[in-house]
A and B are shown apart, each in its own frame.
Chain A
């Protein structure tokens, strides 16, 4: 049995739960800051989708790569991105991960294998193929995981990337978070298939649909895909069905023109944190301890961000050319 396939220890399961809490509380805090006008630029929160980010990233090594999207706080945190520098980026500070050049939509922490949030929908998939190609050249068993939404599965880049990764048998995992809406456009309207994972068949690679609200179920399908990729057997497509509780972005209400409160409540009843508490067996005492620790970490991150300097005018040319 490979290392990836070893059963999850109690410690690892608790760590997964804590990561989900870290994401939830980070994004709730960020959204409050955003509403108070403290965030520089827009943010897109992934609250409701934590089972996907933690279920997926909990299978990865630090030297594996992820690429994410404009809705990428969750994946960033789950992959180990430094929270103080991430918070500083949201607040437009010089100490931010992107030196206040990228903002929330371009969080990256390459030292942790996070090759960036990419805000042009679908643009990250070809780049993941290239990182997978580099890993193939290196031969160290690293994998690249690219997160994208249901909307991106209708971009040409999705299809070209699946084809390239398949013909070259690259260690790339295409992880589609189907949260049912591309901005306001419902997936059933925009997509030719009921399950996006069915598109894997067109590229002769494994495709699986999983309950994205269940962190363990996501973890298990990822373990299979990661194992395949590390053994040189090529890419996989995973579709996790999930739901975003918030609107697409600032001006977009939680429900209204494109979804009902009833539908919203149905998904909230399957909240990934509630599901995790049950299946991982998190006690009230443990939950309280996790919450306290997460709160301390967040307050430290926020203090760091608030105390950090803003960029200087001369920084405008910094990092344009190597």
Chain B
């Protein structure tokens, strides 16, 4: 394989680069969202309004239902809208156009339309923003056939998967983890994409599989470093997309290690981890030497106070302790 030239950039810069490059590449791509054109409230959209103008980088009123439905309409009419939801919590006002329209229209209309729509949905806690500004809701959307759901955990995946999402002819919920925005990492130069539907091994190991979703892939990597100091060789696998879910990619690692911890920032009940645990045991039950353990947010809203918030949210330490429990 030829050596890939990389440079180190942040997760949010990677998103910003993907948006610049795809808007440059395809004039049908346009952006909509609150406060994206002028003030660059988010580093992910900085500079786009100046570069591409305010027709294509379109500020919206605070009107999530309206502009999300409008994006579905524009997609039906041949455009490739990319929405900025600011926070996934705000997207709850736009569930109908996402779940009832975008995800179903192609199927329901007998293939007469496609909906090439990307919804960028930053999410997550850890910043004392409280119950309605800290949620991780991707699990809700794997219940909606027709909708791709992408959960990138590092700058390279954020860029490569966002570019793939914008080129995809299906509606995509592209989840971004606010806790990762400043995370830096190597990203290949040039026009670079990552495939939708492929898990990635982020660290090879043989003793235990740590499956980390989004922000928790980072915590699993940190946990693997701590475990290594105690002589435990953990493999970290990141599903990267949860619809489609690369069950074989995840089960392959579990077949090797026989033990599995799944970490996610969403709530435990009915979570992505529950779905992955069920799928992995269906595919690799014979290889499992212990029950699969889930590390997730507790089933309570995310409170403001740092002390309480830390109790609710998953962490590197919680992943380490789950792994040790499995290995003891």
Interface residues of A (CB under 8 A from B): 65, 67, 96-102, 106, 108-111, 115-116, 118, 120, 123, 125-135, 137, 144, 156-157, 160-161, 163-164, 167, 318-322
Given the complex, which residues of B lie within 8 Å of A100, measured CB to CB? 110
- Given known A160-B63, A164-B60, contact A131–B96 (CB-CB < 8 A): no
- Given known A96-B110, A102-B108, A319-B110, contact A157–B65 (CB-CB < 8 A): yes
- Given known A137-B55, A160-B66, A322-B170, contact A129–B73 (CB-CB < 8 A): yes
- Can you list 11 residue pairs at the A/B interface with Cβ under 8 Å? A102-B108, A108-B110, A126-B67, A127-B101, A130-B73, A130-B76, A134-B78, A157-B65, A164-B60, A319-B107, A322-B169
> Which A residue's beta carbon lies closest to that of B69?
A126
- Given known A98-B108, A102-B109, contact A127–B97 (CB-CB < 8 A): yes
Report the Cα distance A163→B112, complex, angstroms.
29
Closest CB in chain B relative to A133 CB, distance in Å: 5
Report the Cα distance A237→B116, complex, angstroms.
29
- Given known A129-B69, A134-B78, A163-B66, contact A320–B110 (CB-CB < 8 A): no
Which listed residue, A120, A161, A319, touches B66 by the CB 8 Å rule?
A: A161
A118 touches B101 (CB 8 A): yes
> Which B residue's beta carbon lies closest to that of A98?
B110
B107 touches A129 (CB 8 A): no
- Given known A98-B108, A99-B110, contact A128–B73 (CB-CB < 8 A): yes
B108 touches A126 (CB 8 A): no
A321 touches B66 (CB 8 A): no
* Highest count of chain B CB atoms <10 Å: which of A109, A111, A144, A160: A160
Which listed residue, B68, B77, B106, B145, touches A126 by the CB 8 Å rule?
A: B68
Given the complex, which residues of A lie within 8 Å of B114, measured CB to CB? 322
Given the complex, which residues of A lie within 8 Å of B145, measured CB to CB? 320
Given the complex, which residues of B lie within 8 Å of A115, measured CB to CB? 73, 76-77, 113
A130 touches B106 (CB 8 A): no
Given the complex, which residues of B lie within 8 Å of A131, measured CB to CB? 73-74, 76-77
Given the complex, which residues of B lie within 8 Å of A123, measured CB to CB? 69, 96-97, 100-101
A160 touches B110 (CB 8 A): no
> Which A residue's beta carbon lies closest to that of B97?
A126
A134 touches B63 (CB 8 A): no
Given the complex, which residues of B lie within 8 Å of A106, measured CB to CB? 108-109
- B72 at the A interface (CB under 8 A): yes
- Given known A126-B70, A129-B69, contact A321–B146 (CB-CB < 8 A): yes
Within 8 A of A (CB), among B223-269: none
> Which B residue's beta carbon lies closest to that of A133?
B74
- Given known A65-B77, A130-B74, A130-B75, contact A161–B69 (CB-CB < 8 A): yes
- B111 at the A interface (CB under 8 A): yes
Interface residues of B (CB under 8 A from A): 30, 55, 60-61, 63, 65-79, 81, 96-97, 100-101, 105-114, 116, 145-146, 169-170
A322 touches B69 (CB 8 A): no
Given the complex, which residues of A lie within 8 Å of B73, measured CB to CB? 67, 115, 126-134, 144
Given the complex, which residues of A lie within 8 Å of B78, measured CB to CB? 134
Report the Cα distance A163→B70, complex, angstroms.
12
Closest CB in chain A relative to B170 CB, distance in Å: 5
Report the Cα distance A118→B105, complex, angstroms.
9
* Highest count of chain A CB atoms <10 Å: which of B66, B96, B114: B66
Report the Cα distance A322→B167, complex, angstroms.
12
Report the Cα distance A100→B145, complex, angstroms.
18
Given the complex, which residues of A lie within 8 Å of B77, measured CB to CB? 65, 115, 130-131, 134-135
Closest CB in chain A relative to B293 CB, distance in Å: 33
Closest CB in chain B relative to A312 CB, distance in Å: 14
Which 4 pairs from chain A and chain B are nearest by CB? Answer: A126-B69, A130-B73, A160-B66, A134-B77
Report the Cα distance A120→B99, complex, angstroms.
11
Report the Cα distance A280→B81, complex, angstroms.
45
Q: Beyond the given A115-B73, A118-B101, please list 13 additional residue pairs across the A-B interface where CB-CB is below 8 A.
A: A98-B109, A99-B111, A102-B110, A108-B112, A115-B77, A116-B109, A129-B66, A130-B75, A131-B74, A131-B77, A160-B65, A319-B110, A321-B170
Which listed residue, B30, B66, B108, touches A164 by the CB 8 Å rule?
A: B66
* Highest count of chain B CB atoms <10 Å: which of A101, A102, A109, A322: A322
Report the Cα distance A212→B100, complex, angstroms.
30
Closest CB in chain B relative to A163 CB, distance in Å: 6
B109 touches A125 (CB 8 A): no
- Given known A131-B73, A134-B78, A134-B79, contact A126–B66 (CB-CB < 8 A): yes
Given the complex, which residues of B lie within 8 Å of A109, measured CB to CB? 112
Given the complex, which residues of B lie within 8 Å of A96, measured CB to CB? 110
Report the Cα distance A111→B113, complex, angstroms.
10
B70 touches A129 (CB 8 A): yes
Given the complex, which residues of B lie within 8 Å of A126, measured CB to CB? 65-70, 72-73, 97
Given the complex, which residues of B lie within 8 Å of A321, measured CB to CB? 106, 146, 170
Given the complex, which residues of A lie within 8 Å of B116, measured CB to CB? 322
Given the complex, which residues of A lie within 8 Å of B105, measured CB to CB? 116
> Which A residue's beta carbon lies closest to that of B76?
A115
Closest CB in chain A relative to B281 CB, distance in Å: 25
Report the Cα distance A146→B323, complex, angstroms.
56
> Which A residue's beta carbon lies closest to that of B27?
A137
